Amino acid sequence: MSIKLENINYVYSEGTAYRKQALKDVSIEIPHGQFVGIIGHTGSGKSTLIQHLNGLIKATDGVYYFNGENVYADGYNMKSLRNQVGLVFQYPEHQLFEIDVLSDVCFGPKNQGLSKEECEKRAREALEAVGFPGKFYSQSPFDLSGGQKRRVAIAGVLAMRPKVLVLDEPTAGLDPAGRDEILDQIAKLHKESGMTVILVSHSMEDIAKYVDRIIVMNQGSKLFDGTPKEVFSHYKELENVGLAAPQVTYIMHALKERGFRVDTSVTTIDEAVEEIAKVL
Amino acid sequence: MIRDITIGQYYPADSIVHKLDPRVKIVCTMLYLISLFMFRSVAGYALCTVFLAVIIRLSKIPFKFITKGLKPIILLLMITLVFNLFFTSGGNVLVSVRILKITDEGLRASVYMGLRLVYLIVGSSLMTLTTTPNALTDGIESLLRPLNKIKVPVHEIAMMMSIALRFIPILLEETDKIMKAQIARGADLESGSIIERAKSMIPILVPLFVSAFRRANDLAMAMEARCYRGGDGRTKMKPLVYKRRDYVAYVITIVYCIILVLVGRYVPFKIWIF
């Protein structure tokens, strides 16, 4: 289930005063099973980019190959693409509508034409995977807390069993505990199911710990693309575009400047602790 | 798809029409709309076409953008044309197929009516395209202020209008987002019978209503937190003040109306070339 974007351009409101080029010549290749983070400042084009992945918006210019097939070719089955690429929007809890949690999660599988039993089975699995407590299955989704609503909404996409899961700022507006829980569960899901996960965020700190690869977007173009270590080594450039490397990067660089022989490429707190312990 | 609606939309540009006082634009638009029904001659049509064209030119809004606003009324326009064409009595018969007759009177009536409708829409959308919703409600509030004397809550009405207008783009965007989210979950909004399509709107309407109420709550709370309490004794940050160009615009519009009435009166009615 590889994803290959070639020279994607996207322009909003072409031909009006509101014309805005959201993406400029973006080329990205994502092999199956990778855990990718897409980072960028507000308005950098990351949300526009991910909507291309399941065909919700069509590039003004460029080609998108999913699994080797050209998505923009005539007669391409968009529905099957959307079944395989699950997209969780920002604040996904705003899309909940059913009378109880279980039927809301069933909405996706039901649209795939599955039987009622199969839908419910998948819904239960998905709710379990996001750590949603079973006693609330028959509650109205509108009575839940913010964090629980979000879990239900993510489960609603997971229940479709996508091969690629795309999450747009899944932790926006959550408290630190809720944020870590959701990210941990996503990481666990990635490990267990082997699906491709694409995580969009504007916080380096959040995703450095989890992802194999980081793509940095700036003003509609790809700025950096590489492992967290590679990307964070450009921490000065990142600052120029309004982003910041994780705090440990700064600490390690500061330590090195003061003459400690530490490895400045560590990305997580745990690694940093180890490094510092080594030199002490 | 949902972004194509241009009625009531503002189009930013740096033009003399944009800079006019909203009160001028409201009054002059009203006058123009009324003027469309003051004549029945080709000369009159020529005059109001030229007037409209000049203003469109001055407003620096691309012509394509204005015609886009006509799309929603095409059906209405068609019905009007057909009705006027076939059901106007009198005049010489031009074509007749069984009971349907097209007379020169009918042809004239349908062309006139069609043009009037188009000018009505273009004229009024020109006002909304060149005036921000906020300026528009400011203008309405100030024009309606005399009604305060007979206990009409003018400020409250204006406030409600500006909030409603302000929320149109927000709710449109929200609808767009929810539609996308549900399509991503496999919702099928386009195919199926009417009943199926109506049913498929539920996953969009429910979240939309929920979010509208949530936003209303938030806004009410924010207004209360800032001690908002209606119109009495409230001053404006940017009060509306007439400038010279505003008086000029009034004069031009009134002169246009007078000429139009005179043209309707003194240029013979029957100038019509087939």
Q: Which of B12, B64, B182 is the closest to A95 by Cβ?
A: B182
Verify whether the Cβ–Cβ distance B177 to A94 is below 8 Å.
yes
Question: Does residue B3 or residue A268 have the better pLDDT?
Answer: A268
Counting residues of chain B whose pLDDT is more than 70, the rounded percentage is 93
3-state secondary structure of A107: helix
Q: Taking the mean position of all CA atoms in its chain, how far away is CA A269?
A: 22
Q: What is the pLDDT of residue B4?
A: 52
Q: What is the pLDDT of residue B1?
A: 42
User: What value does the mean pLDDT take over residues B24-36?
Assistant: 93
Q: Please say whether the beta carbons of B139 and B114 come within 8 A.
A: no
Q: Is the pLDDT of residue B274 over 70?
A: no
- In B, which residues are within 8 Å of A17 by CB distance? 11-13
Chain A nearest-CA distance from B114, in A, is 27
**Closest to A232 (Cα-Cα) out of A244, A223, A219:** A244
User: What value does the mean pLDDT take over residues B269-274?
Assistant: 46
B-interface mutation test, from A88, A94, A103, A164, most B Cβ less than 10 A away: A94
Q: What is the pLDDT of residue B6?
A: 52
pLDDT band with cut points at 50, 70 and 90 for residue B180: very high
CA distance B113 to B81: 7
Task: Give the pair of three-digit tokens for residue B183.
Answer: 């399509």
Ranges A84-93, B50-59, B130-139: which has the least confidence: B130-139
Q: What is the pLDDT of residue B269?
A: 52
Verify whether the Cβ–Cβ distance A82 to B207 is below 8 Å.
no
Q: Is the pLDDT of residue B54 over 50?
A: yes
CA distances from B177 to A50, A98, B183 (A): 14, 18, 10
Q: Is the pLDDT of residue A273 over 70?
A: yes
Site of tokens 């979240």: B207
Q: Which of B11, B177, B185 is the closest to A160 by Cβ?
A: B185
Q: Is the pLDDT of residue B62 over 60?
A: yes
Buried b (16+ CB within 10 A) or exposed e, B161-200: ebeebeeeeeeeebbebbbbbbbbbbbeeeeeeeeeeeeb
Q: What is the pLDDT of residue B143?
A: 92
- In A, which residues are within 8 Å of B65 by CB distance? 16
What element of type H or E holds A3? strand A3-12
Summarised one tens digit per residue, pLDDT across range B67-108 is 877 887 888 888 888 888 887 777 677 777 777 777 777 888
Q: What is the pLDDT of residue A64?
A: 94
pLDDT band with cut points at 50, 70 and 90 for residue B271: very low
Q: Does A141 touch chain B (CB under 8 A)?
A: no
Q: What is the pLDDT of residue B73?
A: 82
Summarised one tens digit per residue, pLDDT across range B108-136 is 888 888 888 899 989 988 898 899 888 88
Q: Taking the mean position of all CA atoms in its chain, how far away is CA B60?
A: 18
For chain A, what percentages of helix, strand and coil (3-state, to nearest 5) are there? 40, 20, 35
pLDDT band with cut points at 50, 70 and 90 for residue A121: very high
3-state secondary structure of A136: helix
CA distance B30 to A159: 56
At a CB cut-off of 8 Å and minimum separation 6, what does B262 contact? none
At a CB cut-off of 8 Å and minimum separation 6, what does B172 contact? B2, B3, B5
**Closest to B12 (Cα-Cα) out of B62, B55, B67, B64:** B62
At a CB cut-off of 8 Å and minimum separation 6, what does A158 contact? A86, A126, A129, A130, A165, A189
Buried b (16+ CB within 10 A) or exposed e, B123-147: bbbbbbbbbebebbbbbbbbbeeee
Q: What is the pLDDT of residue B272?
A: 45
Q: What is the pLDDT of residue B108?
A: 81
Q: Does A149 touch chain B (CB under 8 A)?
A: no
CA distance B94 to B191: 44
SS (H, E, C) chain B: CHHHCCCCCCCCCCCHHHHCCHHHHHHHHHHHHHHCCCCCCHHHHHHHHHHHHHHHHHHCCCHHHHHHCCHHHHHHHHHHHHHHHHHCCCCCEEEEECCEEEEHHHHHHHHHHHHHHHHHHHHHHHHHHHCCHHHHHHHHHHHHHHHHHHCCCHHHHHHHHHHHHHHHHHHHHHHHHHHHHHHHCCCCCCCCCHHHHHHCCHHHHHHHHHHHHHHHHHHHHHHHHCCCCCCCCCCCCCCCCCCHHHHHHHHHHHHHHHHHHHHHHHCCCCCCCC
Summarised one tens digit per residue, pLDDT across range A167-188 is 999 988 888 888 888 899 999 9
Chain B nearest-CA distance from A55, in A, is 9
Chain B nearest-CA distance from A65, in A, is 18
Counting residues of chain A whose pLDDT is more than 90, the rounded percentage is 55
Chain A nearest-CA distance from B91, in A, is 46
pTM of the model: 0.74
Summarised one tens digit per residue, pLDDT across range A14-40 is 776 678 899 999 999 999 999 999 998
Summarised one tens digit per residue, pLDDT across range A185-227 is 999 999 998 899 999 987 787 788 889 999 999 999 999 999 9
Q: What is the pLDDT of residue B273?
A: 40
- In A, which residues are within 8 Å of B206 by CB distance? 97
Residue type, B118: V
Q: Is the pLDDT of residue A160 over 90?
A: yes
Buried b (16+ CB within 10 A) or exposed e, B208-220: bebbeeeeeeeee
Q: Which of A17, A97, A157 is the closest to B206 by Cβ?
A: A97
Verify whether the Cβ–Cβ distance B184 to A54 is below 8 Å.
yes
Q: Does A94 touch chain B (CB under 8 A)?
A: yes
Q: Is the pLDDT of residue B154 over 60?
A: yes
Question: Does residue A147 or residue B90 have the better pLDDT?
Answer: A147
**Closest to B257 (Cα-Cα) out of B29, B53, B6:** B29
